[in-house]
Copies of this chain bind each other. A is one copy, B any other.
C-alpha cells in the first residue's frame, strides 16, 4: 500500500515498483463479452448445445468460448462478440461506452450481476435471437483478489480504493471496488475505454492507495 505523498510523486512509485517495494496488481482488460444463462445458450445455439472452450481465462474456471453472437441496437450492430463460459444464472452483456454509442444504447455503469433496470439489447445467434429486456451494462472497474491478498493489502471485500497507473497516460482511478473470493486471482479489471485512456495493456501493473 502506498501513501498519499507517493501518489503525487509518480517517479517514486515507479522506482518502488522496480525495487519490489510495492505489491503490484496485474491489469486485465475486458473486451466486450456476453455471459449466457443455460436457457439462452439453447435459444441461440440449439437444444442441448454446450459452450466449447476456446481459451481459459486468468480467473479460475472461467473460459472464452468458441461461440460468438451479434449484438444489435437501434443504431448499429457489433458482430463476433465473445461468449464467456461457463453458462450462468442470468444473461449479462458487457460493453464499453464506445460500443454503446455504436449500438445506440445507454447502459448504466454497474457491478457484474446488478442488472435490475439495466439496458435492453438484442443478441443474434445461429439458431435464434433474444430480445433481452435488461442485462446490458458497462462494467464497473474492480479488483479481484484472494483472502491472502486482501490480508496483504489490508482491505476487505467491498472496500473502495484508488488505483494508480504508471503508464505514459497516467491516470488515477477512484472508487475501485475490491472483490474478495477464494476463487479469485489478483487482477485489476477495466474495460477497453479505460485501458485506452490510460494506455494500459495486460502486460502492465498498477498500485493501489487506500484512503482510510
Q: Which residues of A contact B (CB under 8 A)?
A: 4, 8, 10, 96-98, 101, 109, 141, 162, 168-175, 192-194, 196-199, 211
Q: Is the interface of A mostly helix, strand, loop or mixed?
A: mixed
Q: Residues of B contacting A193 with CB < 8 Å?
A: 98, 193, 196-197
Question: Are B198 and A109 within 8 A (Cβ)?
Answer: no
* Chain B residue at minimum C-beta to C-beta distance from A108: B168
Which of B4, B169, B171, B173 is close to A109, meaning CB atoms less than 8 Å apart? B169
A194–B200 CA distance with the chains assembled, in angstroms: 12
Q: How many copies does the complex hold?
A: 2
Measured CB to CB, the closest approach of chain B to A72, in angstroms, equals 20
Question: Are A172 and B169 within 8 A (Cβ)?
Answer: no
Q: Residues of B contacting A192 with CB < 8 Å?
A: 98
Measured CB to CB, the closest approach of chain B to A4, in angstroms, equals 6
11 CB-based A-B contacts, threshold 8 Å: A10-B175, A96-B196, A97-B199, A98-B193, A98-B196, A109-B168, A141-B169, A171-B174, A172-B172, A193-B196, A197-B197
Question: Are A171 and B169 within 8 A (Cβ)?
Answer: no
A198–B109 CA distance with the chains assembled, in angstroms: 11
Measured CB to CB, the closest approach of chain B to A188, in angstroms, equals 14
Which of B141, B172, B196 is close to A174, meaning CB atoms less than 8 Å apart? B172
Question: Are B199 and A198 within 8 A (Cβ)?
Answer: no
Q: Residues of B contacting A101 with CB < 8 Å?
A: 196
